[in-house]
Every structure is written in C-alpha cells, then in structure tokens.
Amino acid sequence: KSDALEHHVNQTLTHAKTILDMFNAYSVHVRSLCTRGFESDAISLVLSVVRVLGEDFEDLNSLSSSTLNRLAKDELLSTRELLEATGKDQLLQFEIMTDVNKLWVMKLMSYVIMEMFRSRPLLMAVLSCKMIKLSIHYGVCEATCIALIMYSVSMMDDPDNVDHCHYWGKVAQALFSTFDNPDSTMIHRIEQYFHSLVGVWIEPHQAVCNTFQSNYKTCVRSGDNETSTEILVWYCLMN
C-alpha cells in the first residue's frame, strides 16, 4: 500500500498543474511517512519544500545532537521571551495569515511536529518555535495553535515551566476558537496533545478523561478514524 501511495504521489507531482496540486500531494506524502515511522524522511521533505516556498531553514537532520540541543534551547528561550513580550491579548488580536506560501509552510510543519514528541523532541522544539515566530511576523493560522501546544510540550522538560506551559496551551485553545469555520479534526488534536502532555500535570485526571471521551465520540461520528484512534490510545494509557 505504501508503494502504491508513493507511486500515486509521484504521478500527481509529475502532472501537477498548480502549486496547490503539488502541496496536496506533498501533504499526503509527509503524513504517510510520519505514520510509517520515517520521521527523518518526512522532515527532509518538509524542509526541502519550505525552502522552495521561501523559508531559509537549515538541514536540521544533519546537525549533531549537541548542536541541535543548543539550537533547541536557544529557540525555546527566544520564543518564550517573544511570547511574553507579545502577551495573550495581543496574540488573540493578530491579523489572520494571508500569505499562501507561509500558510503552506505552517501546515506542512504542523504535520511533522505532531508526530515528533516521542522520537525527535529537539526537532519538534525547533520547528515549533520557528512556526510561532512566523505567526508573530506574518499573522496567525490554525497551525499556530499546534505550534503553541508543541512549544508547551517542549518546555515541559523543566518542572518549573509547568504553569507557563499550561498558560500557553490554554492560549492555543482560545486562539483556535477565534477562527471562522476551523478544521474540526484539528481542535480534537489540539485538545488531545494539550490534555495528555500538559494539562494532565495541573487539571483533575477525571476532567482530562471526560474530554477524551467526548472528543472520541465526536470523531467516531464524523468518521475521523485517525484522530479517534489516537485519542483512544491516550485514554487507555491514562487509565
């Protein structure tokens, strides 16, 4: 099946008439690579595409572990300072991102960072921070909320950051509620990662489980099998 999917993606890219056609094919390919555990390949693909779209990102896969560790710490520190200087109220009033290339960059990166919190946490931290900085400079989008959640997850390495992480996780949820006609599957993913990786350290266990149960039922009714399965796994792990 994976070979057939890759063949279909390659055919689509070969015959694509618009950038949107290419983006949709790349999106499917990136998500397929992540699902099959090929995060490094997915990251390389995403970085190559975002360079074409105008973002000058270095090849993060080629960095040594010590270099990547320093880069992640620097990015998290500078992003924290930027968020605290911006504040919740200003962030919620930001203009919506309209640059099509930037929107595609954000969406592609959101696919990979949601799959990296276990296998590539340092890369997740770096990409999340870059997404937040893009949002502050060019406007916010739904993927900004994913970036804020994953930034919060990255900062949870230090127990002293729990309140800070919980705060910005809640901001991500508040920001998502401001969008018109948002992606319904994304809000469940945002809540899933927030409650299972950040909120669980502060909020009552039963409240977290009740949210999972509600979101699971909604996803099943809407036919979103991928998200419903992920929620079910997290629910089982927490009980």
Residues of the chain with pLDDT under 70: 1-21, 184
Tokens in use for 130? 């870059």
In whole angstroms, how large is the CA radius of gyration of the chain?
Answer: 18
Q: How far is CA 41 from CA 106, 121, 130, in A?
A: 18, 16, 19
In the prediction, which pLDDT does 175 show? Answer: 94
In the prediction, which pLDDT does 182 show? Answer: 73
In the prediction, which pLDDT does 80 show? Answer: 96
pLDDT in tens, 177-207: 899 877 767 777 788 888 877 877 787 777 7
Residue 115: Cβ within 10 Å count: 19
In the prediction, which pLDDT does 12 show? Answer: 62
In the prediction, which pLDDT does 91 show? Answer: 95
Only one residue has tokens 């969008």, namely 179
Only one residue has tokens 């990296």, namely 116
Query: From its phi and psi, is residue 204 left (phi > 0), alpha (psi between -120 and 50) or beta?
Result: beta
In the prediction, which pLDDT does 113 show? Answer: 85
Helix (H) or strand (E) holding 39: helix 39-52
